[in-house]
Amino acid sequence: MSYKYRVETHSPGHRVLPRTGEMKAEVHAWLDDGLFEATDEALWQQAATAAAHPGVKAIHLMPDTHLGYGIPVGGVVVTDDVLIQAGSGYDISCGVIYLEVPGLHAADIADPEKRRRWVDAVELRVATGLGDHRPPRARDVAYREVQQIFRYGAQALGVPAELCERHYIEVDDAVFDERRVPRARDRAQPQLGSVGGGNHFIEMQVDRDSGAVWVMVHCGSRGFGWQTANHFFYAGAELRGLPKKRREESWLYRDEPLGRAYWAHHNAAANYAIANRHTIVDGVREATRAVFDAEVDVFYEISHNLVQEETLLLPDGSTERGFVHRKGATRAFPAGHPDLAETKWAATGHPCLVPGSMLAGAAILYPQPGAARSACSVNHGSGRLMARGQARRELAHIHDEIDHEMRTIRRALGGVTVEGIVGNTARTPLDECGHVYKDLDAVLAVLESEGIATVAHRLYPVANIKGV
């Protein structure tokens, strides 16, 4: 049975897979013709399987969607009292923080040697890559500070709530026990304030239109989150009677003992990720002062691998509470959303921070009223076209061309031509180069055409620090 060819077109950017078999809800996919044709049957099979979980009320696929594990990347699953661990995945609360650099313009960073010095200065202060190493100028962190972060996230660092999607998520101390997962606990202190590997990065960017300089940090909960997730995947599989190799299909009732424990530990990992991003800001701030004699201001911070309990906007205009699992998707509350009441963003909706690729850049979106149609969610990036291993194999023969493109690409940014993207790697990582991602502008166009969000800032990279 083909799921893909059961999909119905409801509008140019909206497709629906009707309920079939054990599906509890239809699948709404926000894809135009080209993005839909690029999907494969395995993605739709996975979406149908995700829709068959107990407690599912709605499921959406964002325009950057691709095959994941348990739930598609770019997948949003709404449930009543069920927690699906794959809805956060292994990097619980992976997300983005954006920093503005007031007074710094494209002309001030056009010299690649200045950008090179900035990259070096950041690497002296912020750890990248796998493991627990700390660079010479990184801030030391006491374990008692980490214990507060588990429970209070960015609030434990004194960060204003308006700068965060969630200041922190409440942790039930009656069930949270940091000793429950020793491998997670042991990584929390040494890895706080580090970027990690994979697709995580720190990137200097320039606004295409104004020439303003920004810094984007993309990272998550590091080993603490990974080990936490891994522990509960195995525990959930055992409880549900699934074989270990299918552990990523497990799910939990919110009020059963293991569900309560997972929710507390998931929230502690989310709090850790939020604080991790804000801690990295300290190193970026020092590096930017040292090289450009400029300050950085936090604009906003948001997650895109997270389960959150929130107010749902229903088609008839009413509301109810539920759990929203965003696996590689970003929360998008529009103006007037009940959960934004009395916040800075109540009249505008909160910003949605969307990385694309180390070649094609990123964007800042604002949700529109149509966001209610997508479970108040947008994409979290442009979406992968190639798996990592595939990219390394299939692009090896054009590696020199890819490196040349990164060194020589010229863009007019705010009326200033900036050449090249300075990096911290000897060669462009093939599994993260621009060729392995979808066209970010095509992905964003779907959201705009469907009235889900608008693009407020389109930004392009000029310096990139990867976790290698």
CATH number at residue 167: 3.90.1860.10
Which of the four pLDDT bands, split at 50, 70 and 90, describes residue 139? confident
Domain encompassing residue 345 = 4-466
Q: What would the two tokens of residue 177 be?
A: 């026990």
Question: How many angstroms from the chain centroid is the CA of residue 102?
Answer: 25
Nearest to 376 by CA among 423, 421, 431, 338: 338
**Alpha carbons 191 and 209: distance in angstroms, whole number:** 37
State the amino acid at position 349 in one-letter form: G
pLDDT at 175: 97
The number of CA neighbours under 13 Å toward the Cβ of 428 is 27
Say how far apart CA 369 and CA 452 lie, in whole Å: 7
Q: For the beta carbon of residue 333, count every other beta carbon within 10 angstroms.
A: 24
Tens of pLDDT, residues 457-466: 999 999 999 9
For the chain, percent of residues with pLDDT exceeding 90:
94
- Local structure of 2: helix, strand or coil: coil
Q: How many domains does the chain have?
A: 1
How large is the average pLDDT for residues 241-269?
A: 97
Residue 130 predicted with pLDDT over 90: no
Average pLDDT rounded to a whole number, residues 444-460 = 98
Q: Let me know if 116 is exposed, middle or buried by CB neighbors in 10 A (0-12, 13-18, 19+).
A: middle
How far is Cα 351 from Cα 330, in angstroms, rounded to an integer?
10
Distance of CA 290 to the CA centre of its chain: 29
pLDDT tens digits for 273-286? 999 999 999 999 99
Quick one: pLDDT at residue 268?
Answer: 98
pLDDT at 315: 78
Mean pLDDT of the chain, nearest integer: 96
Q: Give me the pLDDT at residue 318, please.
A: 87
Amino acid 3 reads Y
Diameter of the chain measured on Cα atoms: 62
Residue 402 structure tokens: 């890819």
Cβ 436 vs Cβ 391: under 8 Å = yes
**Are the C-beta atoms of residues 219 and 277 closer than 8 Å to each other?**
yes
Q: How confident is the model at residue 136, as a pLDDT?
A: 83
- pLDDT over 90 (residue 34): yes
Q: How far apart are CA 125 and CA 140, in angstroms?
A: 11
pLDDT (tens digit per residue) in 291-339? 999 999 999 999 999 999 999 998 788 899 999 999 999 999 999 999 9
Catalytic residue numbers, as ranges: 380
C-alpha of 221 from chain center = 11
Average pLDDT rounded to a whole number, residues 204-215: 98
155 vs 181: CA distance, rounded Å: 24
- Nearest residue to 148 (alpha-carbon basis) of 137, 158, 134: 158
Identify the CA nearest to 349 among candidates 377, 315, 324, 391.
377
CA distance 230 to 192: 19
Helix intervals (H) in 248-301: 257-292
Residue with tokens 């166009």: 445
